[in-house]
Amino acid sequence: MPLYRDEGIVLRTQKLGEADRIVTLLTRGLGKVRVVGKGVRRTKSRFGARLEPAMWVDVQCFEGRTLDTVTQAESLASWGDVLARDYTTYTAAAAMLETADRLTEEREPNVQQYLLLQGALRSMAEGLHDPGLVLDAYLLRALAVAGWAPSFHDCARCGAHGPHRAFNLAAGGTVCSACRPPGSAAPAPETLSLLAALLAGDWSVADASSGRHRREGSTLASAFLQWHLERGVRSLRLVDRRDPDAPTQVDSRVTWSAVPLIAAVEKVDQAHAAAQAAQA
Ligand SMILES: [Zn+2]
């Protein structure tokens, strides 16, 4: 199979040599692939602008010995341009791309994660909902697809019917008074309802939520994500990430996507410390 064609979303790019780029794509059929875009950093490039982060493209690639090469790229939507115009959507989209990258493996088809990311980017570009809510809904659902569905109603440990007030990252979400580990948080009931609505896709509830509960919900969603990523992906380092396979210096685009997650790391560090103190 020397040539293949698939649709995909650009997760990130890295410089390669003078004019080329390694493009990481989450494709519908093949899962995550790393392909070379030859000459895409030249202004004359036929498809360089289509191989930027968050772009949705139809690509044709030629199979190589180590890396495949893009021979054609057609834009399927111009989300990338729309999202880059506003700082909030730009950083939220960046966090989604980074999360998708972390939750998928190369050459392992993952249609659910692909469709989830595609739907979230489209929703964010259309501007129908607050970008922070779209991001949190995406994070919670991506975790659920990865097998780490958080609980925001019933007890995550014994299944006792909720609602429950206590929330514990290590336990998996809300916990009943009998299961509640020491040091559990007690978020506002409205925040837990908001998170449950985001996970379920109940936008009428989510859109009606207040700023205070959105902020609290964001903190919990980010902390949940970091908790699982740090435990699930051993090599995760958010601030100074370098791809060991990168042949040359890393494009600054690789690191901008870490920005919105750095604050979450500090929060989750506190949560980790609290969880460890609870176990000791
Ligand atoms: Zn319980």
* Tens-digit pLDDT profile for residues 254-271: 233 333 343 444 454 455
The pLDDT of residue 245 is above 50: no
In the reported structure, the alpha carbon of residue 152 is separated from the centroid of ligand 1 by a whole-number distance in angstroms of 13
Is 170 within a domain? yes
Q: Which two tokens stand for residue 28?
A: 């519908």
- For residue 245, the 8-state DSSP code is T
In the reported structure, the alpha carbon of residue 278 is separated from the centroid of ligand 1 by a whole-number distance in angstroms of 16
Separation CA 242–CA 97 (nearest Å): 16
The letter for the amino acid at 107 is R
What letters, b where the CB count within 10 A reaches 16 and e where it falls short, cover 163-194?
Answer: ebbbbbbbbbbbbbeebbbebbbebeebbbbb
Is 64 within a domain? no
- Quote the pTM value: 0.81
The letter for the amino acid at 171 is A
Total domains in the chain come to 1
In the reported structure, the alpha carbon of residue 209 is separated from the centroid of ligand 1 by a whole-number distance in angstroms of 27
Question: Whose structure tokens read 């996970």?
Answer: 199
Residues 152-175, mean pLDDT to the nearest whole number: 94
Residue ranges with strand state E in 78-178: 166-168, 173-175
Separation CA 13–CA 25 (nearest Å): 9
Is 257 within a domain? yes
Is 151 within a domain? yes
Domain span including residue 253: 129-280
Which segment of 110-114, 190-194, 204-208, 272-276 scores lowest on mean pLDDT? 272-276
In sequence order, the β-bridge partners of residue 231 are none
In the reported structure, the alpha carbon of residue 130 is separated from the centroid of ligand 1 by a whole-number distance in angstroms of 33
In the reported structure, the alpha carbon of residue 243 is separated from the centroid of ligand 1 by a whole-number distance in angstroms of 41
Is 241 within a domain? yes
Q: What are the start-end ranges of the H helices in 233-258?
A: 253-256
Residues 22-28, mean pLDDT to the nearest whole number: 97
Separation CA 247–CA 14 (nearest Å): 9
In the reported structure, the alpha carbon of residue 168 is separated from the centroid of ligand 1 by a whole-number distance in angstroms of 11
Separation CA 50–CA 54 (nearest Å): 9
State which residues have CB under 5 angstroms from ligand 1, the bound ion.
Answer: 155, 157-158, 160, 176, 179
- 174 contacts 153 by C-beta, under 8 angstroms: yes
According to the per-residue pLDDT averaged within each range, which of 59-68, 83-92, 254-263 is highest?
59-68
Region for residue 107 given its phi and psi (left: phi exceeds 0; alpha: psi -120 to 50; beta: otherwise): left
Distances from the Cα of 97 to the Cα of 93, 152, 172, 257, angstroms = 6, 25, 24, 8
Is 249 within a domain? yes
Is 279 within a domain? yes
Q: Could you tell me the pLDDT band of residue 280, with boundaries at 50, 70 and 90?
A: low
Is 40 within a domain? no
Residue 260 burial (10 A CB sphere; 0-12, 13-18, 19+): buried
| Residue 224: closest CA among 163, 153, 174 | 174
In sequence order, the β-bridge partners of residue 62 are 3, 69
Q: Could you tell me the pLDDT band of residue 231, with boundaries at 50, 70 and 90?
A: low
The pLDDT of residue 138 is above 80: yes
The pLDDT of residue 175 is above 90: yes
* Cα Rg, the chain, nearest whole Å: 20
Which segment of 14-18, 81-85, 217-221, 223-227 scores lowest on mean pLDDT? 81-85
